Structure 1
Amino acid sequence: MLGAAPAYADKIDDAAKVLSEKSYPFLQEIDWTSDVYAKLPTQNALDVLKAINTMLKMGASMDPAALKTGVLAHSQAIANMDSKGVATLADYTAINAAIGHMISSVPASQTMDVYNAFNKFNLGSDVGPYMMSKVNAADAKAAYQALMDFKDVVKASQR
């Protein structure tokens, strides 16, 4: 079974379930068919490649079993997504759990390297309000809070 959840549950798996349930309404509101997600305004190709390189280095340091689980969870979700590009709740939960385990398997410094590489990109002051106008603000805020709670659980488990 591709992307199947492990036979055990832990704090990350439990937190992924909560994150997924609280953020799924928001996920369903997003127009995943829009090309806006394939663009990084104001960034040149070399800066984007350098940022991607930090992700590749992080991936190379991840626990191989956790990485494989993450890849398979994403593949399963892609196979099962609906015509709007939305994963099932079960697949979304498996992805979130896998990401949590992948991130917890690397040093926090590598996580921050990836964050900092993308955080320096200037997306302009209109991107946030534009994106928020496309969804229910309450759902977006609930999803963000659930993500912050999930981040705390993953960080507490991080090596």
Structure 2
Amino acid sequence: MAKARKACVLAAVLALTGLRQSAFVPGPRGLAPMAAAGGMLAMAGAAPAHADKIDDAAKKLSEASYPFLKEIDWSSDVYGKLPTANPFQVLKAVDKMIVMGAAMDSAALKAGAEAHHKAIGSIDAKGVTTLADYEAVNAAIGHMVASAGESKTMDVYNVFAGFNLGKDVGPYMMSKVNAADASAAYKAFLEFKDAVKASQR
């Protein structure tokens, strides 16, 4: 479980660093951010019982990005550490995440925790969950983020965007996957981001 949490944290850093232009403005150019965005897909929450625009976008995102998700080597230790990060910088980032979490709707948080638990339980030998659980997990990050509000969301984005992971991270990550699958995942991710923003308070 601890290893899974570490993987999620680094995946978030990679995604947020790759999406250097605000998460609520047009995304960055090039293929490296597409690979980084794939990590973000892994750290979602859970969908509510009713379907809405976030759920619809999560379904589209999940179907478009699942091939890409399966190409990532989730056993790599790159997802378990931040070799260039200052410990105090990491602490400040965690603090912003805690504040954001405290602002989230409690029902969305509970649903997110339950979806994560279910998805972790269904991962295969390569660390990939089922498409259904992946979709539920993607839907929840949308509902959780939307409930937290744009200001606290951007506080988390900005603190992680300050991490310097080095210029080789993007190309390295991109070299490990199919570029077309990464592109499809990134395009769907941007549409998902727009649906979350439209629902944000």
Per the normalisation by structure 2, the TM-score is 0.76
The percentage of counterpart residues that share the same residue type is 71
Query: How many residues were matched structurally?
Result: 157
Q: Identify the match of residue 95 of structure 1 among 137, 148, 161.
A: 137
- What amino acid is aligned across from residue 142 of structure 2 in structure 1? G
RMSD, aligned α-carbons = 1.3
Q: Identify the match of residue 117 of structure 1 among 156, 159, 171.
A: 159
* Gapped regions of structure 1 (runs ≥ 5): none
Query: Hey, what does 1:80 align to over in structure 2?
Result: 122
Aligned residues of 1:18 and 1:146 also touching (Cα < 8 A): yes
Using the TM superposition, give the Cα deviation of residue 7 of structure 1 relative to its aligned residue in structure 2, in angstroms: 3.2
Report the secondary structure of 1:122's partner residue: coil
- Deviating 4+ runs (over 2 angstroms): 3-7
Report the secondary structure of 2:148's partner residue: coil
Aligned residues of 1:66 and 1:101 also touching (Cα < 8 A): yes
The verdict on how the C-alpha distance between 1:31 and 1:124 changes in structure 2, with shifts beyond 3 A counting, is same
Deviations 1:66-107 (A, max 9, x none): 011111101100011101110110000000111100011011
- What amino acid is aligned across from residue 119 of structure 2 in structure 1? A
Using the TM superposition, give the Cα deviation of residue 142 of structure 1 relative to its aligned residue in structure 2, in angstroms: 1.0
Structure ranking higher on relative contact order (CA contacts 8 Å, 6+ apart): 1
The verdict on how the C-alpha distance between 1:141 and 1:135 changes in structure 2, with shifts beyond 3 A counting, is same
Q: Identify the match of residue 146 of structure 1 among 188, 192, 199.
A: 188
Greater Rg, structure 1 or structure 2? Answer: 1
Query: Hey, what does 2:65 align to over in structure 1?
Result: 23
- 1:35 matches 2:77: yes
Give distance in 1, aligned partners of 2:174 and 2:106: 36
Query: Hey, what does 2:108 align to over in structure 1?
Result: 66
* Gapped regions of structure 2 (runs ≥ 5): 1-44
Using the TM superposition, give the Cα deviation of residue 4 of structure 1 relative to its aligned residue in structure 2, in angstroms: 7.7
